[in-house]
Structure 1
C-alpha cells in the first residue's frame, strides 16, 4: 500500500499529493459503516446507520489502526496531517430500520460524500431501490459482452 501512496504503483493514476479526502468502508462485528478522512482537519469522520451498534470506545478501538497508520502513509506523499487522527462520530445520519441494510448505507455514504452531496438525503425508503440498482450496475459492469 505504501508503494501505491508514494507513486511506485499508479493504480488510480492520480497523484496522492492532490488528495484531500479518503473514504473507507469498515466492517466490524458484522456491521458496516463508512469513514471519511479529511486531511486538512486530521480527522476521521464516522458515518453509521446504526448509532447504537458500537459504543464510542469500541469505535475508537476499531479505528485505532487507521488513526495511526494513515498519517504515516500520507506523510510519504507530503500530505501534512497530525501524527494521530481524531475520531468524530456523525450522529445525524438516518437510522437503518432493518438488519443487513448497513452495507448499502455505507456504500451510499461514500458515494454521496465523494461527490459533495448531502448525506442527510439517505434514508430507509431508498435502500431497496439502491440495492437493486447496485446489483444491476455490477452485473452490467462484469457481464456486458
Structure 2
C-alpha cells in the first residue's frame, strides 16, 4: 500500500468481503485505508464478472440490458486478532506469515514480533532450498 506497507487480503466470495490482515494499524487510519481499498472493492467484482467464471454467482445479478455488479465490502481485522508490530519494516514478513498461518490453521497469535528473526531466517532458508533443490 502506497509502496511502503504490506498487508494480506483475503477474499471471501460467499460473503462478498475483502478481509485485511494488517500487522501495523498505525500506518493508515481507517479513513485512509478505506480510500486505499475503494479501487479494489470496485475493480475486483468487475474483473470477476468479465472473467465469466462466476456467471451463477448470486452477487452478479443480470438485469437486462446491463449487469449490476455490487462492490465488495471490506474490513480490517482487529488488533485483538492480528498481533501488531512494534518495528517498521516487518510488515512484508508478517503478511507472508499471516498467509501461512491462515492456510495451516495456526492461530495468528504466534505471528508476533518476538519471532520475527526466526521467520526471516526460515523464509531465507526456504527460498534458498526451493531454488537449489526444486
Q: TM-score range by the shorter chain?
A: 0.7 to 0.9
Deviation larger for 64-73 or 43-52: 64-73
Pick from 60, 79, 85 the counterpart of residue 72 of structure 2. Answer: 85
Mapped pair 1:63 → 2:37: yes
Q: Secondary structure at the match of 1:132?
A: helix
Query: What stretches of structure 2 of length at least 5 have no aligned partner?
Result: 60-68
Query: What stretches of structure 1 of length at least 5 have no aligned partner?
Result: 1-26
Q: How many residues matched?
A: 119
In the superposition, the TM-score normalised over structure 1's length comes to 0.73
Q: What root-mean-square deviation, in Å, do the aligned CA atoms of Structure 1 and Structure 2 show? A: 1.9
Partners of 1:134 and 1:115 in 2: how far apart?
16
Q: C-alpha offsets along residues 63-115 of structure 1, whole Å, 9 cap, x if unaligned?
A: 22221121122232116346101111111211112111111111111122233
Structure 1 runs of 4+ aligned residues shifted over 4 Å read none
Mapped pair 1:142 → 2:116: no
The structure with the largest alpha-carbon Rg is 2
Mapped pair 1:97 → 2:97: no
Larger RCO of the pair (alpha carbons < 8 Å, separation 6+):
2
Partners of 2:17 and 2:46 in 1: how far apart?
14
